[in-house]
């Protein structure tokens, strides 16, 4: 069933570290051979062996409209003959910036970059430059990219591979990175008191997506917002996953919370490598060339990436009903899964907000990294492979959110629920 993928993986390991260019793709957490994808269309992936899968990764979030969405593909094709890069300003960069500012609350200025990692790294540097302070607070299990500061008690692939200490991250960087359990506001307040006047920024995923989908407790984000205001700390929302996915204005709109700086990726590029960071003019004007906090990139504002992102965001802005459809599809999936999980008597937790959802084999609520890590990963492995064998492509890690795309049909979701029922039966045998 996976012969060609196995051959390609063996070949890849001869020239690529671990055979993959991003660690979670190696299937180390779930075992088996990673799939090598040849093409995708709509809600479906097709691997090198010709197998078809219903996709619940959506390229880890950006393919919100579905793969190879015709207007996006057409826009890229029309732009490509004009060259793939200039290293100079274009009108299109202005248009996408204006579009983002019109969609997102509390963003006055925005700087385009090439990845979510770069966006978060730049936002932290800006916060430090703006405040003149060095320390940051992040949350255990949250993943903000692979910049040094963010690999302290990180989620996503770091959690999946059980890497507790990352070689190459210096003691100085670690000392400036303070960590707390997500959803523990009192612990953050204690840190702020202990390091009063030293903390430049608090960065958080508003809805965690890198240890499964984990929602903020009522009052948690609001408490962080107030603490940052009181202590002159820059409040950064990492909306690389949630931005333009949970609502046209992202988590800021969906959860009615206002950050000082926001970072973006995923959907903002329509499948191309794009990131961005933006926020209040008072802070953003410290970025060069307006200010002295330096950030640059040859491919920032790349025209092909910009047209893919602009086309995607314009569709989302002009068709807000897409979010209602995605919410309904995800809730339908959740309810269907719950029915068969309840019948199976297997302990479970399903967390969901908008088109983000995750399944945890656990008998206790999943509210932070510790509770996510204590779930039964052996059961998840069995569930993952049973679903894969039935043509359902889930994230190959218990520490990742699933992302629905709007090309999914009711028939696709019904089949997914039926596959889950069979998978639970297999686990129980």
Domain annotation covers residue 171: yes
Q: How many domains does the chain have?
A: 1
Classify residue 379: in a domain, yes or no: no
Whether the CB-CB separation of 155 and 208 falls below 8 Å is answered with yes
Exposure of 91 in the CB half-sphere (CA atoms within 13 A): 1
Domain CATH number, residue 90: 3.40.640.10
**Is beta strand 392-393 parallel, antiparallel or unpaired with respect to 52-55?**
parallel
Residues 31-53, buried b or exposed e (16+ Cβ, 10 A)? ebbbbbbeebebbbbbbbbebeb
Q: What phi and psi, each to the nearest 5 degrees, are found at residue 237? A: -100, 120
Confidence (pLDDT) at 166: 60
Token digits for 49? 């062996």
Contacts of 259 (CB under 8 A, 6+ apart): 106, 225, 235, 236, 237, 252, 279
- Measured in degrees and rounded to the nearest 5, phi and psi for residue 88 equal -145, 160
List C-alpha distances in Å: 314 to 144, 150, 247, 268, 379.
26, 32, 13, 10, 41
Task: Give residue for tokens 């990845």.
Answer: 115
CA distance 273 to 349: 33
Q: What pLDDT sits at residue 147?
A: 74
Measured between alpha carbons, how far is 247 from 404 in angstroms, rounded to an integer? 14
List, for residues 364-392, the tens digit of each pLDDT value. Answer: 999 999 999 999 999 999 999 999 999 99
**Which tokens hold the place of 394?**
């889930």
Catalytic amino acids? 143, 238, 266
Residue 326 lies in a domain: no
* Sequence-distant (≥ 6) Cβ neighbours of residue 67 within 8 angstroms: 40, 41, 42, 43, 44, 45, 55, 58, 59, 271, 405, 407
Residue 335 domain-assigned (yes or no): no
> Is 52 among the domain residues?
no
Radius of gyration, CA atoms only, the chain: 21
249 in a domain, yes or no? yes
Q: Which residues in 381-404 are b (16+ Cβ under 10 Å) and which e?
A: bbbbbbbbebebbbbbbbbbbbbb
Q: What are phi and psi of 425, to 5 degrees?
A: -65, -40
Domain that holds residue 196: 70-318
Query: ∠ at Cα 162 (157, 167), nearest 5°?
Result: 85
Model confidence, pTM? 0.93
Residue 376 lies in a domain: no
Which residues in the chain land under pLDDT 70?
152-168
Token duo for residue 100: 């983002």
What are 347's two structure tokens? 């302990």
Listed in sequence order, the DSSP H helices in 132-202 are 157-160, 171-175, 185-194
* Residue 366 backbone phi and psi in degrees, to 5: -105, 105
Within a domain: residue 156? yes
The three-point CA angle 61-146-296 to 5° equals: 90
pLDDT at 145: 86
């Amino acid at each position: 069933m996976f012969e060609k993928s196995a051959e390609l993986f063996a070949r890849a390991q001869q020239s690529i570290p671990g055979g993959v260019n991003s660690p979670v793709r190696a299937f180390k957490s779930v075992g088996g051979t990673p799939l090598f994808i040849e093409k995708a269309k709509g809600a479906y992936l097709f691997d090198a062996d010709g197998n078809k899968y219903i996709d619940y990764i959506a390229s880890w979030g950006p393919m919100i409209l579905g793969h190879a969405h015709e207007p996006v593909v057409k826009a890229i094709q029309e732009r490509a003959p004009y060259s793939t890069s200039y290293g100079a300003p274009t009108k299109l960069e202005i248009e996408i910036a204006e579009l983002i500012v019109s969609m997102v609350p509390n963003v006055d200025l925005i700087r385009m970059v090439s990845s979510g990692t770069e966006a978060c790294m730049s936002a932290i540097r800006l916060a430090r430059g703006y405040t003149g302070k060095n320390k940051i607070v992040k949350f255990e299990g949250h993943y903000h990219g692979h910049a040094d500061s963010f690999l302290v008690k990180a989620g996503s692939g770091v959690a999946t591979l059980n890497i507790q200490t990352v070689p190459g991250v210096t003691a100085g960087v670690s000392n400036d990175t303070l960590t707390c359990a997500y959803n523990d506001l009192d612990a953050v307040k204690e840190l702020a008191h202990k390091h009063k006047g030293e903390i430049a920024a608090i960065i958080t995923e508003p809805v965690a997506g890198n240890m499964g989908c984990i929602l903020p407790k009522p009052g948690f984000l609001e408490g962080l917002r107030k603490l940052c205001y009181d202590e002159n700390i820059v409040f950064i929302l990492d909306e690389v996953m949630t931005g333009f996915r949970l609502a046209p204005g992202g988590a800021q709109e969906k959860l009615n919370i206002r950050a000082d700086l926001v970072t973006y990726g995923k959907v903002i590029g329509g499948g191309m490598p794009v990131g961005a960071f933006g926020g209040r003019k008072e802070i953003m004007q410290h970025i060069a060339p307006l200010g002295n906090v330096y950030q640059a990139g040859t491919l920032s504002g790349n025209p092909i990436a910009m047209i893919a992102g602009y086309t995607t965001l314009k569709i989302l802005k002009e068709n807000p009903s897409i979010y209602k459809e995605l919410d309904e599809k995800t809730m339908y999936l959740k309810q269907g899964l719950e029915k068969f999980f309840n019948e199976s008597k297997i302990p479970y937790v399903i967390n969901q907000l908008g088109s983000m959802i995750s399944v945890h084999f656990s008998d206790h609520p999943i509210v932070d990294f510790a509770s996510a890590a204590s779930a039964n990963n052996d059961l998840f492995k069995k569930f993952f492979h049973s679903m894969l064998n039935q043509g359902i492509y889930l994230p190959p890690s218990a520490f990742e959110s699933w992302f629905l795309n709007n090309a999914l049909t009711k028939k696709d979701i019904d089949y997914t629920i039926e596959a889950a029922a069979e998978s639970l039966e297999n686990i129980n045998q």
